[in-house]
Amino acid sequence: MYEKERQELILTLKEKGITNERVLKAFLEVERHLFIPQALHGHAYVDNALPIGFDQTISQPYTVAFMTQVMNPQSGDKILEIGTGSGYQSVLLHYLGAKVYSIERNHDLYLRTSQLFDKLGYRIALRCSDGTLGWNEFAPYNGILVTAGGPEIPTNLKKQLAPGGKLIIPVGDRKSQQMHILQKTGEDSFKTTIVPDFSFVPLIGREGWKIG
């Protein structure tokens, strides 16, 4: 279903600079409409963020593709995602062979997405908690990807990254952020690249924004 629409989305992603063939194939194979409300299925393959309820969104496909391309997960990599939301990004990482751990703070969304994963048969570890604290039990991670925008980079996430691992997180104010891409080069040293112009829902938590 929606095969032609997905092909068109791939062309848009290529035009915007997504070149990784594995990532493009994942966008062709993983059906985005399964992760959004039925009333919006007709918009699933337009390059826009969409509402998923509880004041949250599924991110714009280009943004998801950009972060996935930067992460470039390899088979068996352990990846922690903060902000499960609809589950679409988690499934793309899983499709690319990663062992995915994902944290969502909103309990209703957590329950809904857990049920969806059960129904679709995905084995992805989910947890309902404050993702700014990470998930220490399974650390260190080869990659940590944060899909909500925070005021700073949570120290726990930096600590839970494996040597050589990548942490990708939008940082800025509540409306617009810059993507910070950190690669761990030593115990507490990182090489950082910053890419401007992103807009995410707020990362709320102990090392994020306070509610309100």
CB 65 within 8 A of CB 27: yes
Q: Applying CB under 6 A, which part among 38-46, 57-65, 159-167, 182-190 lies near ligand SAM?
A: 57-65
Q: Applying CB under 6 A, which part among 20-28, 72-80, 124-132, 135-143 lies near ligand SAM?
A: 124-132
Please select the residue that binds ligand SAM; options are 18, 27, 78, 86, rule is CB under 6 A: 86
Alpha-carbon distance of 114 to 117, in angstroms, equals 5
Point out the catalytic residue in the list 59, 86, 90, 102. Answer: 59
Question: Residue with CB nearest ligand SAM?
Answer: 85
Compute the Cα dihedral for 124, 130, 132, 133 and give only its sign.
negative
Report helix, strand or coil for 24.
Answer: helix
Please select the residue that binds ligand SAM; options are 10, 80, 82, 157, rule is CB under 6 A: 82
Q: Give me the residue label for tokens 């059906």.
A: 31
- Residue 206 half-sphere exposure toward CB, CA atoms < 13 A: 10
Q: Applying CB under 6 A, which part among 17-25, 158-166, 178-186, 198-206 lies near ligand SAM?
A: 198-206
Q: Applying CB under 6 A, which part among 6-14, 22-30, 105-113, 191-199 lies near ligand SAM?
A: 105-113
Please select the residue that binds ligand SAM; options are 50, 58, 67, 169, rule is CB under 6 A: 58
147 binds ligand SAM (CB under 6 A): yes
83 binds ligand SAM (CB under 6 A): yes
Tell me the per-residue interface mask from 127 to 146 with ligand SAM, x by CB under 6 A, - otherwise. Answer: ---xxx--------------
Quick check: is 199 catalytic?
no
Q: Give the DSSP H or E segment for 178.
A: strand 177-186
Compare residues 24 and 93 and give the one whose CB is closer to ligand SAM: 93
Would you say how long the chain is, in residues? 212
Alpha-carbon distance of 105 to 132, in angstroms, equals 10
Report helix, strand or coil for 135.
Answer: coil
Q: How far is the CB of 103 from ligand SAM (least distance, A)?
A: 5
Question: According to DSSP H, which parts of the chain are helical?
Answer: 3-15, 21-29, 61-71, 88-95, 107-120, 155-159
- Residues with a catalytic annotation lie at 59
